């Protein structure tokens, strides 16, 4: 059967409550193959095929980001002439020549054992030697192997090992692109629609698709083009966030839905690293704004539009800006840290303590392992923060994040527009899970205030 689908940040002394679960089933790995494939942007990435002792075969592939945080786990690329230096033959060799011999030596009881062993083999703080693109593909395949051994779907295995209550997530469809994801002058990177009031996952996906097509009609009529950004959203010649969000409100109405925080809401990812200038100043639509002025700008957007979530509203190292924004709006909207946290439980704990945000974005390849990913989600939950599972701009058909978001029960995911195969694969997997398990509830969790006590994860 085929199931499609370390950074040094892993603390081996951190005994997560999913280390020795009563439902754990050991696995024996007989062979691990790897090869170079192309991601959705046409750049190479790593695909892994894992052969188990009982004859089962599981697979996984690594995504890649365009807008990346400085503290992410490090991809390994060849830096030669092939694919303009982006080929991944060295990462493929990491899997076949080093990781596979390690994994074939014994039976493995749980995924933390596997991920820690690979992290120790790598020996760096950010997986720079073996490559996070190699390691995350192996780690995801290993999670599928443990789910196979337990004879349960991947999302059920994740729920069991994390002691989570499963939840179908509100999808956040990225339907207008700017920043690093598009060639237009729009500084903000993502404008999303979120059907928070949908009855279930199927209805949410339907709403997203209908609004996407309504938006396409408006974009074609106004701009005489419907070019797409990296994540399937439209990338018209828009310069201001207000124009983008006005288009979204109109498209929501055109499709027969109601713009609103309890119906179809808007979420944005400004990705402020991309328009940070210097000395606490940010450039938007030709205007240079101070930190206080940028906070005021976000306040105006919140007052004018049904905006429920702001991701990376300030640059990753501008902690003063993050604090200003949290103090101003942290009690009324979701503030998500992506480049700020890079799915690192230690950085998330620091963000909770300092009240930089009330939510963390979760991208498995940022931290490099499933264990690190689960630790990040557990830390966010424990400290009263929300979590949102996310894809990357360079995606594959792997659907791991769909099972991850359901199994951990965090209630929200973003995987691009409701278009393009690599994005649709995740949404189709979500509706498949719902069809097979209709008892799982759908919807957001309430926004809470992060804990302020000192934390040592």
By annotation, the residues acting in catalysis are 231, 363
Q: What is the DSSP string of 411-454?
A: -EEE---S-SHHHHHHHHHHHHHHHH-TTS-BSPPPP-PPP-S-
- DSSP-based three-state secondary structure for 380: helix
Radius of gyration (C-alpha) of the chain in whole angstroms: 21
* Opening angle at CA 354, ends 287 and 64, nearest 5: 65
DSSP state of 343: T
Residue 243 and residue 176 in contact, taking contact as beta carbons nearer than 8 Å: no
Q: Which two tokens stand for residue 402?
A: 């769909």
* Opening angle at CA 195, ends 213 and 203, nearest 5: 75
Residue 161 and residue 375 in contact, taking contact as beta carbons nearer than 8 Å: no
Q: What is the DSSP string of 22-64?
A: TT---EEEEEEEEEEEE-TTS-EEEEEEEEETTS-EEEEE--B
| Rounded Cα gap, residues 52 and 204, in angstroms | 37
Q: Which two tokens stand for residue 277?
A: 């200038």
Residue 27 and residue 145 in contact, taking contact as beta carbons nearer than 8 Å: yes
- Identify the burial level of 17 via C-beta atoms within 10 angstroms of its C-beta, where 0-12 means exposed, 13-18 middle and 19 or more buried: exposed
Q: Please identify which residue in the block is written with the tokens 């046409």.
A: 42
Residue 280 and residue 290 in contact, taking contact as beta carbons nearer than 8 Å: yes
| Rounded Cα gap, residues 199 and 315, in angstroms | 36
Q: Which two tokens stand for residue 249?
A: 């409100």
| Widest distance between CA atoms in the chain | 62
| Rounded Cα gap, residues 218 and 238, in angstroms | 13
Residue 138 and residue 370 in contact, taking contact as beta carbons nearer than 8 Å: no
| Rounded Cα gap, residues 382 and 443, in angstroms | 20
| Rounded Cα gap, residues 428 and 276, in angstroms | 36
Please report which helix (H) or strand (E) contains residue 324, including its range.
helix 319-329
| Rounded Cα gap, residues 150 and 160, in angstroms | 10
In Å, how far are 27, 88, 154, 359 from 4, measured between CA atoms?
18, 21, 11, 30
């Amino acid at each position: 059967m085929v199931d499609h689908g370390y950074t040094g940040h892993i603390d081996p002394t951190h005994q997560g409550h999913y280390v020795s679960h009563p439902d754990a089933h050991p696995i024996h790995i007989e062979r691990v193959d790897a090869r170079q494939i192309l991601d959705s942007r046409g750049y190479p990435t790593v695909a892994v095929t894992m052969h188990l002792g009982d004859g089962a075969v599981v697979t996984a592939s690594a995504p890649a980001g365009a807008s990346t945080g400085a503290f992410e786990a490090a991809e390994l690329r060849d830096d030669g002439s092939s694919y303009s230096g982006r080929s991944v033959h060295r990462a493929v060799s990491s899997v076949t020549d080093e990781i596979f011999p390690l994994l074939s030596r014994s039976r493995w009881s749980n995924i933390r054992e596997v991920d820690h062993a690979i992290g120790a083999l790598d020996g760096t703080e950010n997986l720079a030697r073996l490559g996070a693109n190699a390691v995350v593909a192996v780690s995801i395949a290993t999670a599928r192997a443990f789910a196979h051994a337990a004879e349960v779907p991947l999302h059920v295995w994740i729920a069991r090992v994390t002691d989570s209550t499963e939840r179908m997530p509100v999808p956040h469809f990225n339907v207008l692109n700017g920043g690093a994801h598009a060639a237009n002058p729009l500084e903000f990177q993502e404008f999303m629609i979120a059907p928070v009031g949908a009855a279930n996952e199927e209805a949410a996906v339907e709403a997203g698709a209908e609004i996407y097509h309504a938006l396409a009609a408006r974009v074609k009529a106004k701009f005489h083009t419907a070019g797409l950004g990296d994540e399937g959203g439209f990338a018209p010649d828009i310069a201001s966030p207000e124009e983008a969000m006005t288009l979204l409100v109109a498209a929501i109405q055109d499709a027969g839905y109601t713009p609103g925080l309890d119906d179809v809401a808007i979420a944005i990812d400004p990705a402020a690293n991309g328009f940070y200038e210097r000395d606490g100043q940010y450039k938007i639509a030709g205007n240079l704004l101070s930190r206080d002025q940028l906070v005021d700008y976000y306040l105006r957007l919140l007052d004018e539009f049904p905006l429920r979530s702001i991701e990376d509203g300030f640059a990753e190292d501008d902690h003063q800006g993050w604090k200003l924004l949290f103090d101003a709006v942290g009690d009324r909207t979701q503030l998500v840290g992506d480049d700020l946290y890079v799915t690192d439980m230690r950085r998330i704990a620091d963000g909770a303590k300092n009240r930089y945000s009330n939510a963390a974005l979760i991208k498995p390849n940022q931290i490099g392992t499933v264990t690190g990913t689960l630790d990040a989600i557990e830390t966010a939950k424990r400290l009263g923060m929300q979590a949102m599972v996310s894809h990357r701009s360079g995606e594959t058909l792997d659907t791991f994040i769909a099972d991850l978001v359901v199994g951990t029960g965090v209630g929200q995911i973003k995987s691009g527009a409701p278009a393009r195969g690599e994005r649709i694969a995740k949404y189709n997997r979500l509706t498949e899970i719902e069809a097979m398990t209709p008892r799982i509830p759908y919807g957001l969790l309430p926004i809470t205030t992060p804990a302020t006590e000192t934390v040592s994860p």
